[in-house]
Amino acid sequence: MSVRTGGDRETSAELPLFRGVVEVLRLIGRLYRRPKLGDRARHGEDDGSGKGLPMLCLIRPTEHRSLLPAISERLKSAEKNRVPHAFVSRPETDPDTDHDAPLQPDVRQIRALLAEIAEKLGDAWNARSGRIRFHRFGLAVWLMQQDLSRVEAPRREAELRRRLWRRDPAQRISDLINSSGSGAPDTVWPVIKAVSVLPWIWSRLKTTGRLPGLGREYRWFRRQPYLAPEVPGTFLGFAERLTRGEWPQEAPDQVVRFLTNALLEDLRRAYGRFPWRLRGERRMSYAVVLLDNVTRANGGYDLLKLINDVRNETGRFDPLLVISASRKVPPHAVEPTVGDVRDAVYDADEAEEGHRAWRRRLVGDRRRRNEMTWYLPISTYTGTAGEDERYRIGRALAAEGPYRLPRPPWWSRRAVPIGLGLVLLTGGGVGYSVYGDQHCGVPLSRPWAWFTGEGALEAMGECVGVTDGAFVSAFLNPAAQAPADVHQGLLRTGGILQQQNDQAVRTSVEDRRPLVTLAYLGDFSGNSSVELTAEHETLAGIAVAQRDQNSRESSSAPVVRVLVANGGGNMRHASYVVRTYLSGIAANQDERLIGVVGLNHSRTETVSAIEEVTRLGLPIVASTLSYDHLSDYSPLYFQVSPQNRQEAQQAAEYFRERGNGEVGVYRDLTDAYSANLGEDVADELGKAGRTARWLSPAKPYDAGRAACGDGEVYYAARATNFNDFLRGVSDGCGGGPLPDILAGDDVTQHVADRVRRERFLGIPYSYQSFAVGPTRPDPDDAANNLKPNEYTFYCSLNRFLAGDGVQDKCPPRAGDLSLDGHAALAYDATRVLLNAAERLQSTVAGPERTTASVPITPGAVWRELNSVRAPEQQESLVTGVIDFGSDTTKRVPINKRIWILRVRGGEVEPPSDR
């Protein structure tokens, strides 16, 4: 027999056999069952004692240490459904040291214990009848973590209200309405703006707690009996008293009572039986908490005492069955044979009699507020069972069989409201389904279309969100003109990412390695094969980095999960994805999201996404962005590519060596990246003694025709327009001389697309690249001239793309080559982030020659990223050396290598010097 004691870890838990074990299990089986009507005693036991579940305190010797884990296993393997329960264990300590326990309860210790209980009761394992949500307790803990010490006293209430708004789901609804109405007609926009304010008004009304039906959680804070909530009289005023710098000034016993009552109140609400909320009716078992190895020193006895006192003082029923195990009798840690408690402690074989006696005296004890009112101590010190007795006990256990849950009443079945809902919503559901299909399952992404009836939305629909690789196909634009191998490659890579993510979780559990998560934020909704080819290469590079990391043998090396986030075409919805999806993942500590890699296109939308990620406190490592000012928008932003100004310096040197006079420069003023690169090139040309002449036509085709009059041309626009530019050169120059064309780094995406690269074979051109991939399919080909780290990476990439069935350790690349360098850049960006995380887990000697490792958190990872500046901390990766320099305000690599490559006859010429 085994039991889950934390996370996915399994430990052996054999049920100890002692006299009375059957009676104890039978009593637990009766206590956790909930009657179909009401919460009073069942089976004729309602003797006027009222509602109430005892705290079953099992007093056990050391050799019975597996008792509670075995009970947990029986609850987990109950017939039909698992009995919702939380198993919480504390390390075994010597109960004789309990006299060292503090007189006042340790607030942080109790809070951590309650938080663990809430987390496990609210886990998906216990969600068969609906998850238990701890709104009040969660809000209380959140408030205790808010630091307002740097906020001026008169502004603290407003700051707290702002933070509560950011925490409220209504804020996301408001943001969605605002973002989705950006393209609405002028006649509809005022209506959308007015509607977007409604969630804010709703949130404000909730926090007042004064309107019936709104803000029950906030209203409860003002009505609960602890910490004098009437001071100062408002929720926000009381909430300010709970913030980090204020709650230590309150009485500790009142704080822990408040927290305990909050958790119990959340359970009451979860089990509430209301006509409009059938979930409470479906819960046919009470919540069970198993507290193992409790003592006064570890807070276990304090928690039992708190539950006892809160029940006495509030007089309210709570659906919580507490079962504790200890060597001594709580709450005073005395031996079960001591005279003062001997009469209150029942032997295990008297468990049923003990429960009946406890019920008879419950009313009187509650009126007297007895300190032992809710305790039901049961001793398993009944002696060791002999072989014959063990045989009889085993037969009795077999006769008992597993625990069972009664069926819920018929009116609480999901089929009843579902059936009624189907009848009422059939007509609307059809329209909703059709509209939802047109918008990738987000039917309210543009609500104004319901009023205007515009049909263009169907072509504009995009599917954005986050996946572990399972549904990358939903992100792809059906209208995209991408080659079949690119499309299939993206789907296959997504499937492999999902498999590697699942394996990462298993490896973390089996090898006890830390598990971290990173998110790739990109654009999978592009229309052109250029963009999707780059996405395929980027995703493959990240997958290779994940595979390399997870295959490491060091026990301190973390394993990584990779989430794929689609920000939409040109990153239009990237901010929305961050706010709606990544924010929730970052808030979930179990996910351990440590950072974001990738990001596409230096656009305003990308800047907004960077700012949103920064608000989550996550470091960002961009792989291909080069816009000069991106690092100014966030102190958490890093990149592995050089900036446009360095690219412009190389371009100016390239043209300086070719003569004097003017250089034609084409830029797209509507694109931030293109405009920035064009300006940088013009400035650097001036410093090099050359003059920039702007190719004024706005359309790339016209600019290409105009370029024929110039001997030398620099193309600073996007790769998606380069084909039109070359077509203009071909048509405009005719049989005349062709200009000497040098293109910026974005054109690497054009080069990677073989079909586009071979469309104008007669026009040679050069382009700048932040990485150089092999120009021959086989990495072993001497013409590739690969360095050792490049050779290792491209062998791994080719092996990944070829599939697991390939035996060759370094197979040739199948299909088109990785000419744009996006795979290598994405690999390097991922490695920079993972290397920072791994350094935190490296065992280092402290001042007293002790060893320790730093927990992997986003803040700690950012600190490590910021330290990649000294020569000994530079990282030599596939695309070059990553060194952020001595200026801590700059988080871009200095002196990063940029290559100028030549395309002639549709083929990329190998560089003479890698």
Spatial separation of the C-alpha atoms in residues 398 and 393, rounded to whole Å: 9
DSSP at 265: H
pLDDT at 451 over 70: no
Identify the band that residue 716 occupies on the pLDDT scale cut at 50, 70 and 90.
very high
- Do the beta carbons of residue 404 and residue 80 sit within 8 Å? yes
Higher pLDDT, 558 or 449: 558
H/E stretch holding 164: helix 156-167
Spatial separation of the C-alpha atoms in residues 220 and 233, rounded to whole Å: 13
Q: Where are the alpha helices (DSSP H) in 224-349?
A: 235-241, 252-270, 279-282, 300-314, 339-342
> Could you check whether the bond before residue 331 is cis, i.e. omega within 30 degrees of 0?
yes
Q: What local confidence, expressed as pLDDT, does residue 42 receive? A: 44
Identify the band that residue 185 occupies on the pLDDT scale cut at 50, 70 and 90.
low
What distances in angstroms separate CA 222 from CA 151, 160, 229, 235, 712, one per listed residue? Answer: 24, 16, 5, 6, 75
Q: What local confidence, expressed as pLDDT, does residue 453 receive? A: 32
Q: Quick count: other Cβ atoms within 10 Å of Cβ 272? A: 13
What distances in angstroms separate CA 337 from CA 333, 383, 385, 386, 722, one per listed residue? Answer: 12, 14, 20, 23, 89
β-bridge mates for residue 518, sequence order = 562, 595
β-bridge mates for residue 88, sequence order = 291
Task: Work out whether strand 740-743 and strand 712-715 pair parallel, antiparallel, or are unpaired.
Answer: parallel
The CA-to-CA distance between both ends of the chain, in Å, stands at 61
pLDDT at 457 over 50: no
pLDDT at 211 over 90: no
User: Amino acid identity of 502?
Assistant: D
pTM of this prediction?
A: 0.54
Across 183-187, 264-268, 401-405, the highest mean pLDDT is recorded for 264-268
Q: What local confidence, expressed as pLDDT, does residue 445 receive? A: 41
Identify the band that residue 572 occupies on the pLDDT scale cut at 50, 70 and 90.
confident
Q: What local confidence, expressed as pLDDT, does residue 385 receive? A: 64
Q: What local confidence, expressed as pLDDT, does residue 764 receive? A: 93
